[in-house]
C-alpha cells in the first residue's frame, strides 16, 4: 500500500500538470499578463512573509543582545525562518529533508557567527 504522503504528492503533481496542460494551447496576451502578475504576487507574498519573520526574530535577538544585531539581517533571518517553518510544517521525503537540513544548519551557523561578530563589534 502506498504511503499517504506519496499519494498526496502524486495527487498534487497530477493536479498541477492537468491545469498546466489546459493552458498550453492558449497564447493570449491577457493570459501572460495574468501569469506574470500572479507570479509577482506570489513572490511578493513570500518576500513580505520572510521580512516580517525576520523583523520578529531580529527584534527578539536585539532584546537579548541589547540592540547589537544589525537590521541588515532581517531578510536572511526571515528566509531561514520561513524555510525552517516550512520544513517543520510539511513532512518531506527523506532525501529532500536531509538536503534541506544541511542547508538550514549551514545557514543558521553562518548567521549565528554574524550575530556574534556584530555583538562583539568585530
Domain residue extents for the chain: 4-119
Question: Which pairs from 97-104 meet CB under 8 Å and 24+ separation?
Answer: 104/80
Nine-digit cell at 106? Answer: 549551514
pLDDT tens digits, residue range 64-112?
888 888 888 889 999 999 988 887 776 656 667 777 888 889 988 988 8
Give the whole-angstrom CA distance, residue 29 versus residue 54. Answer: 37
Nine-digit cell at 93? Answer: 521525503
pLDDT tens digits, residue range 19-36?
544 444 555 565 456 556
CA dihedral 106, 96, 94, 113 (to 10 degrees): 10
Report the predicted TM-score, pTM, of the whole model to 2 decimal places.
0.53
Amino acid at each position: 500500500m502506498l504511503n499517504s504522503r506519496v499519494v498526496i504528492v502524486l495527487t498534487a503533481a497530477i493536479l498541477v500538470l492537468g491545469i498546466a496542460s489546459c493552458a498550453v494551447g492558449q497564447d493570449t496576451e491577457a493570459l501572460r499578463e495574468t501569469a506574470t502578475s500572479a507570479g509577482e504576487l506570489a513572490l511578493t507574498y513570500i518576500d513580505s512573509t520572510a521580512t516580517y519573520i525576520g523583523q520578529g526574530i531580529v527584534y527578539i535577538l536585539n532584546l537579548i543582545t541589547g540592540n547589537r544585531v544589525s537590521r541588515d539581517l532581517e531578510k536572511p533571518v526571515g528566509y531561514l525562518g520561513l524555510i525552517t517553518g516550512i520544513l517543520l510544517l510539511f513532512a518531506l521525503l527523506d532525501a529532500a529533508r536531509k538536503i534541506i537540513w544541511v542547508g538550514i544548519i549551514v545557514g543558521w551557523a553562518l548567521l549565528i557567527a554574524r550575530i556574534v561578530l556584530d555583538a562583539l563589534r568585530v
